[in-house]
Structure 1
Amino acid sequence: MWERLPAIYHVFQQLLSDSHYTTMGRLYRQLATDADTLQQLSTHWAHVAFVGFNAFNKAEETFIKAWNDAGYASCWFDADTWYVQQAHQEAGDFLRRNFEVVGLRNELPLLSSIAQRTLPIQVTATEGQMAQAKQIDRWWQHIAQQQQDNKRIGILLADESLLIPVLQSLPASMQQVNITMGYPLQQSHVYSVLKLFFEVQQEMLQHQYKSVHHTIARRWLEHPLCDAGREDLAKLQEKILRENLIRVPVTALASLSKASALLFGRMMADMEAFQRLREMMELLIQLPVAKSDHMTKGLCTTVWKTLQQLEPLFAALRPQPDLYFMGSLLMKQLGSLSVPFEGEPLQGVQLMGLLESRGLDFDELIVLGANEGSLPRIKPPDSFLPDNVRRAFGLPVPEHQDAIFAYVFYRLLHRTQQLQLVYNALVTDNSTGEVSRFVQQLEFESKIPVHHSKVSYQVAPDAWPEITVAKDDAVMRLLSIYHMQESPKTISPSAINTYLNCRLQFFFKYLARIEAPEELEEAVEASAVGKVVHKLMELLYTECGSTFNNAISKVAVQWMQEHKERLVNEAFRLAWRRKEIKGTFEITGELHIVRAIVLQYVDLLLRVDEDYAPFTLKSLEVKLDESFTVPIKGSMKRVVLSGYVDRVDEKDGVVRMVDYKTGSDNPSFHSLEALFERDGNKQNKAAAQTLLYSWMFRQKFPAQRNFEPALIAVRHLQQYSNQVQLIHKAADEVVSHQNIHTVLEAFETQVRNVLAELFDPTVAFDQTPDVSHCQYCDFAGICGRG
């Protein structure tokens, strides 16, 4: 490769000439080698002064030396004897070369400010990157107390990523601020739109331009610069949640607005991206001020101009880059753009980057980001030339960069009266937590007093107060919906379990009716798996009952085994999406794994039924509503319990209430009293629910004496040898049709006690003492237990 470089260089130079382009390096070379340049420039200016410079490259040294010798140019170097006359001081490396090697004359006398300085330097360590910006307020209060006008005040950022936090932390009393740094495009909403454009196009390309993932779609729908109407946005977002759309059709997105059409419309060619992005910027500029402020419009204009300049360059590339490569190059180029702030450079506080301060003097100065790694900044050279080649030919190397930063830092000491350096003392992936070595050099090599301090913010959040809702008249009115004479609201078994779990949770969910925010279910959780299993069993038994006239034999069960894969997708659609959503349900990604789990669970359930067959299917999804009288404020009131039994079947004159469970539930419970414990670990919600169904069944069908509950806990079938009857451990018996009435008498007493407590005005709705119950509670954030 190195042998070919000369030929590549000459071809490149010829291409530049033919295209009427140039580079900065070529311009410098022309100034250094063209003998007519000096004579041509002298016709424009009588004299050229180079003020405030420090580091010159070889070309600059050549033509400045020639002009200096001819008397056409003069050099004014702002330097101090401290680092110029000490050879080990890197801050003076370039100046010593300018004086001793190049032979340039300095029109300014060397200062002795550093050796004579007695004013201290304040060095402040903060705990965190953003905490540095918060020091500006304290620093500004100190300056304001002095009440001295005409002071030259500056805020310098050694780490320019602090610009946005600093802007957000400027005190209100700092009325005049001139920001010489540009607002970075990369930290703006405009940049996120540009980035989203290429992500959308790549996503559509991978899915035949039919749909995009919901996370990408919602990034646009929730974007501050989205130009779609509020009603249209709300409708589409509601549809995504209602239909649980993992992938959103691009047609629905593209029809929202003009910008949406540009974002989600199919491109006929990759180069069309330039035209689309320019049109996108034009649309964003036209947005009302409430969405697109002056800075955003400025960024859009800058991006538009840059795209206009880059398009012919990309169009000339052969072969044409694909969309991914073009997008990465374009985003890298656009990411370096910024828009200047408007300000008065001669008034107020000057806010700028460290290197921008080279020709300025200040009286009061604070430097943020004075960490090792930011001061000096560690940045590899933008070149493919290795370090040894660069050194051999006198090209810039990292030491040169350090010398430039050292000069800029030491120059701050020339005339600044009060200097404060702030750095982040926390050790992170991006920071060593050390102050710049330049500060340590001052401490060990000079007599300047350096005062260190550390600012820490003690974060001690107040303890969350206990939340208790007393049953005052307003709360009792809310409870009255359960015991109205006409159309009372029913109490479900899950509501009773919620009350036992946490009284306050019951209040939030059933009385205050606080709804958890609806979220898209992409990763199917255990509860969602259970819904699909229940729905698939319902579909299978519905068809099987119709086919075999509700006579479920072993042959009928085998028929269901053979048809379960045919119906599983429909079960997903009905259980995981709303019933009103028509069409097939597409199984994609990890849903294939969930589908396999559902089929495995159903297979186990059907095997249990096959062992129990033959039996008669009586009904599916049976709703049970039964009244229960409880004392409320001295009188007996009627409340209604309600629930759904998965299946009712009959064999040999015994009716079963069958409940499927796919979670960690098991058919064994310690005692009837333990089912209603709040603080113990002997609860069994599934067993309590199944017994409550049995009680409601007995109340509704008093003539039916032979019945029993059946709990098919699919994950515990092997552990309990396919046992589906409830196991009463304290009584050492199973709950069957032979003892069900005795069990239900005691069970009814426990239910009555719970309901009486629920309507007792002296028992408040308070938090559960067992915080383990809060792990999956939708209201844990309200209680501070999330």
Structure 2
Amino acid sequence: MTPFLYRIAQAFYKKYGNEISRLAFVFPNRRSGIFFQKYLAEVSGKPIFSPKVTTINDLMAELSPYTLIDRISLLVTLYKKYIELRKSDETFDNFVFWGDMLLGDFDDVDKYMVDARQLFTNIHDLKEIDEFYLTEEQIEIVKRFWGHLFFPSTESDNKQQFIQLWQILFDLYTGLRDELSSRNKAYEGMIFRDVAEQSKRKEALDLPYTQVVFIGFNAITEAEKIFMEYLRDIGIGDFYWDYYAPTLQDSYNKAAFFLNDNKRRFPSKIEIDEHIEQTPQIELISIPSAVGQAKQATDILQSLIDNNHLSPEKAINTAIVLPDEELLLPMLYSIPPEISTVNITMGYTLQHTTVAALMELIYQMQRHVRFSKGEPRFYHLDVKQLLGHRFIASRIGEKAYQITNFINENNRTFVSPKELGNHRLIKLLFLIPRTTDEAAAYLIELLEYLQQGGNRSDSSEDGDEETPVGFSAIELEFMYHYYITVKRLRDVIAEQDIKMTVETFFRLLGKMAASISIPFQGEPLSGLQIMGVLETRALDFDNLIILSMNEGVFPVKKVAATFIPYNLRKGFGMATTEHQDSIYAYYFYRMISRAKRVFLLYDSRTDGLKSGEVSRYIYQLKYHYRIPIQEIQINCDIATFSPITISIDKRKYGIEKKLADFMQEGNSALSASAINRYLNCPLQFYLQYIEKIEQTDEVAESVDSSTFGSIYHGMMQKIYNRIKGEKEKITVTADHIDTIRKDKGLLTRYLEECFAKEYYKTPHSPEPLTGYDYLTGEIILKLIDKTLEKDRALTPFSYVASELPIHKNISIENNRSIQLKGFIDRVDERNGLIRIVDYKTGRERLDFKSVTELFDPSEKDRKKAIMQVLFYCKLYKLDKAPMQPLQPSIYIVRNLFDKFESFLKYDKEPLTDFNLVEKEFDLYLTRCLEDIFDLDKPFSQTTVESHCKYCDFKQLCKR
């Protein structure tokens, strides 16, 4: 099928020949103009002088005395006018969002030639709106939309605020225009209106062309319409509408919304004889992935190459259309290697770039900074995320890992600059700007450094060699655009003398990034064409691959933010949502009308906010126009793994040698925790104690249960060691306990020391507790006091030791001796009984029916604490008191405020002497140890899956 622009070029060259250079051709975008020039060259077959080829925006700008102002300067100018009129102290940061909305409304007012005075000030009472403009439901919607700014608490206030707003809007509109006009500046709508008003007044415009030809337009604003009518009336305007597709002749199709009016108002002088009867081959492909669409597009391109429908060297007749610009980068990385030339004809929002992600991390880091003794402290997650960003990690290499390791190992919730080191990039990154000028300089220097890093490497001040980095051309382009944006924002702030905080500066920069589109430039007339929907206007391709054919994406479901209610926009002839629906329908049906092959891809996922619904255009093609569509469903192959039984042979992998290390003369010993771990899951025991695989350290932002218990243990040890002094043991009296309980300063100091050691990892630098840590500390102090109260009831008793280390051997079969170890929380003596006390801060029980259940691996709630304290009794008896009776005791800290008991209950009776269960305990402990060291018995997974719930290795087992 012959492209529309080719036929236009044919018709005009046939009529004008070499005289065509005296004409001007106006297109909706630059790309269509470039293709027109290509077709004109092909039609002429020889060198000729080119006619003027331009866009409507550029032509308007040429005819207006004003120059276009940049968006930042425009927003600042509007803000200053607003402050002047409203006499408000509103910050620029609060103004930015709805200031941007106002600029959009003012642009529309001018482009649609609306009488601004009537629109903004001809409203005397809110009741008038109720009666003539809006329904009650619409008023409620308007109130919700405008919120408290314009609808305060009472109905009378509502009316007054509403009226005041619209009166201010007109003054703001005229004030902004006057200010810009005095500086010979204008925004786009203002330029359009100026040219249209000149046309209305029949003023002679500087148009040195015999004909001005408008090609490929559809939806035109009132200003454009007036300008076109002026050129039509003076005889130099000519108009060509691409309305030849059969679907566009259907009056029920929204795509034809503007068709009849445009053809009636603006007829063509040359008859273009074209009838489109060919129906494209259409494939509809559903893929449950966004990025997967890009991968599927690769397969389609490869198939077109294999079937000779696409020449890799000349792929200009094939286009990939991306309604969702976020798929641009995945698409670029998916192009088949056979296609060497790619031309991108679309913008890519700066907000979605890698450098914008880095800037957002920097902004978050700046927001979360705390100061301690005048020195900044950086939140650990912000530090880790920044160090993990590709731009940073690739420059500092191993240093990033070292810093992250330091943070985790030392549990640094907030990190000081000196703890981050002296690497040049680190010093540049972790600064605290105090003014907007410092913030701009900070970002500019950082971006300059990173851009230089793309081409060279240098050394940091602390002697660390930087990693050589090669950023891609696209990444360097992203950096450059962000760099220019920061500089421009800094210059505007300085020129306009706008006062704002550093936080406002960063937030404004983020908002600007969301509105800045990076244009990609390449060789437009060669290679595969990748473009957005708007860029397809007036262009035709043999092969079309359109991604994101989802409802809400194409057509886009996006209502522009505006202060002007729908009914008022419609009443004053401004663009509404119906216009948007019609425009996108036209784009689609015109785009596919001359294609030979059309591939429509959509994301079929239905998770989250994604409905997985295909675009309405597909249903229209299938059921209204009865166009055959081949539907293909692509499914992702998901590998599902059934949990497999993992079994480790002790005779392999050097395990026998590692087990021998626990025997006599070895360097390792088994603890009660290790034995409990083996009973829970032999595989877990193997990974943790044989292979010594440890979970990666993570920063605990609050005191977790393990650290809580360690602080409690440390406090009790310090308290009783103080009472004991240097003596071997001492009789503790009620007076001892009372003295300690009253000494709040001493207890607080002990608490701070324990926090410094166990939580902050700074044992030599205890500091007063603050915030959440202070509250946690107060809870621990109350528990300590309650523990001492319970101990007071036991006085007098003899205190022997705390955190007592014991290391003993125990014999098993085949004359092997196994090393055992333990740290007993507390040993004391009362009424001739030695108590072996274990503190527990979790949920535990004190009763058990038999020793058998303590060693039963199939028990879901095996009483591990009881097994542990009996294990301590065994070690203590072997080492210290072979003949004395031992009473195992457990202090369950969470029960201190209830009915408190510390002795164990064996078959419902208090267990006052370990001797009563020692023989049975020895039997099962020996059997357990023999199992561990039995080379014929592998380390296998537990069969009780509830044991896997909190296991560090459950991902390895796929449970």
Same fold (TM over 0.5): yes
- Deviation track 1:577-606 (CA, whole Å, cap 9, x = no partner) reads 43x642124534433443233223323322
1:597–1:27: structure 2 CA closer, same or farther, 3 Å change rule? same
- Deviation track 1:432-466 (CA, whole Å, cap 9, x = no partner) reads 33222222222333242233343333534132432
- The answer to whether 1:559 aligns with 2:559 is no
- The answer to whether 1:614 aligns with 2:796 is yes
Residue aligned with 1:569, SS:
helix
Match of 1:16 among 139, 163, 180: 180
Give, in angstroms, the shift of residue 262 of structure 1.
4.4
Q: Match for residue 123 of structure 2? A: none
Q: Match for residue 770 of structure 1? A: 944
CA distance in 1, matches of 2:166, 2:580: 26
Residue aligned with 1:540, SS:
helix
Give, in angstroms, the shift of residue 303 of structure 1.
1.5
CA contact (8 A) 2:365 2:379 kept: no
Match of 1:713 among 889, 892, 896: 892
Q: Which moved more, 1:763-772 or 1:15-24?
A: 15-24
Q: Match for residue 219 of structure 1? A: 385
- The answer to whether 1:154 aligns with 2:355 is no
- The answer to whether 1:574 aligns with 2:757 is yes
1:637–1:605: structure 2 CA closer, same or farther, 3 Å change rule? same
CA distance in 2, matches of 1:610, 1:106: 109
Coordinate RMSD, CA, aligned: 2.7
CA distance in 1, matches of 2:713, 2:282: 73
Give, in angstroms, the shift of residue 250 of structure 1.
4.0
- Deviation track 1:237-278 (CA, whole Å, cap 9, x = no partner) reads 33322321111124544x644444444323342343222222
Q: Which moved more, 1:199-208 or 1:14-23?
A: 199-208
- The answer to whether 1:248 aligns with 2:431 is no
Q: Match for residue 749 of structure 1? A: 923
CA distance in 2, matches of 1:270, 1:671: 72
- Deviation track 1:748-785 (CA, whole Å, cap 9, x = no partner) reads 11111111111111100111111111111111111112
- The answer to whether 1:60 aligns with 2:224 is yes
1:410-429 residue pairs with structure 2 within 5 A?
A: 410-429=589-608
Residue aligned with 2:390, SS:
coil
CA contact (8 A) 1:55 1:95 kept: no
CA contact (8 A) 2:283 2:599 kept: yes
Give, in angstroms, the shift of residue 624 of structure 1.
1.0
Residue aligned with 1:80, SS:
coil
1:516-535 residue pairs with structure 2 within 5 A?
A: 516-535=695-714
1:320–1:717: structure 2 CA closer, same or farther, 3 Å change rule? closer
Match of 2:909 among 728, 733, 744: 733
Q: Match for residue 435 of structure 2? A: 269
CA contact (8 A) 2:325 2:348 kept: no
CA distance in 2, matches of 1:703, 1:483: 23
- The answer to whether 1:49 aligns with 2:231 is no
- Deviation track 1:596-623 (CA, whole Å, cap 9, x = no partner) reads 3322332332222112111111112111
1:195-594 residue pairs with structure 2 within 5 A?
A: 195-204=360-369, 210-226=376-392, 229-230=396-397, 232-253=399-420, 256-288=422-454, 290=469, 292-316=471-495, 320-341=499-520, 343-472=522-651, 474-484=654-664, 486-546=665-725, 550-562=730-742, 563=744, 564-578=747-761, 581-585=763-767, 587-594=769-776
CA distance in 2, matches of 1:747, 1:428: 55
CA distance in 2, matches of 1:568, 1:381: 58
Q: Match for residue 785 of structure 2? A: 603
Residue aligned with 2:218, SS:
coil
CA distance in 2, matches of 1:498, 1:658: 21
Give, in angstroms, the shift of residue 516 of structure 1.
1.1
Give, in angstroms, the shift of residue 90 of structure 1.
1.8
CA distance in 2, matches of 1:19, 1:613: 91
CA contact (8 A) 2:302 2:336 kept: no
- Deviation track 1:396-430 (CA, whole Å, cap 9, x = no partner) reads 11111111111110112321011121222333443
- Deviation track 1:473-511 (CA, whole Å, cap 9, x = no partner) reads 521111111125x34411111111111111111111111
Stretches of structure 2 that go unaligned for 5 or more consecutive residues are 1-164, 456-468
Q: Match for residue 652 of structure 1? A: 831
Residue aligned with 1:776, SS:
coil
CA distance in 1, matches of 2:249, 2:666: 97
- Deviation track 1:40-76 (CA, whole Å, cap 9, x = no partner) reads 6434x55433222222111111222322443434323
CA contact (8 A) 1:284 1:292 kept: no
Residue aligned with 2:392, SS:
coil
1:701–1:198: structure 2 CA closer, same or farther, 3 Å change rule? closer
CA distance in 2, matches of 1:69, 1:88: 32
CA contact (8 A) 2:827 2:834 kept: yes
CA distance in 2, matches of 1:748, 1:758: 15
CA contact (8 A) 1:554 1:613 kept: yes
Match of 1:140 among 301, 307, 322: 301
CA distance in 2, matches of 1:711, 1:725: 6
- State the AA in 2 paired with 1:597: I
CA distance in 2, matches of 1:705, 1:251: 56
CA distance in 1, matches of 2:412, 2:650: 42
1:547–1:482: structure 2 CA closer, same or farther, 3 Å change rule? closer
Stretches of structure 1 that go unaligned for 5 or more consecutive residues are none
- The answer to whether 1:27 aligns with 2:191 is yes
- State the AA in 1 paired with 2:739: W
Matched residue pairs, number? 770
- State the AA in 2 paired with 1:734: P
Residue aligned with 1:543, SS:
helix
CA contact (8 A) 2:646 2:940 kept: yes
- Deviation track 1:374-396 (CA, whole Å, cap 9, x = no partner) reads 12112222432222222222221
CA contact (8 A) 1:535 1:571 kept: yes
Residue aligned with 2:369, SS:
helix
Give, in angstroms, the shift of residue 280 of structure 1.
1.8
CA distance in 1, matches of 2:926, 2:271: 98
CA distance in 1, matches of 2:824, 2:749: 25
1:161–1:206: structure 2 CA closer, same or farther, 3 Å change rule? farther
Residue aligned with 2:902, SS:
coil
- State the AA in 2 paired with 1:546: G
CA distance in 2, matches of 1:326, 1:703: 74
- State the AA in 1 paired with 2:412: L
TM-score w.r.t. structure 1 length?
Answer: 0.91
1:601–1:95: structure 2 CA closer, same or farther, 3 Å change rule? same
1:621–1:544: structure 2 CA closer, same or farther, 3 Å change rule? same
Match of 2:871 among 673, 692, 715: 692
Q: Match for residue 189 of structure 1? A: 354
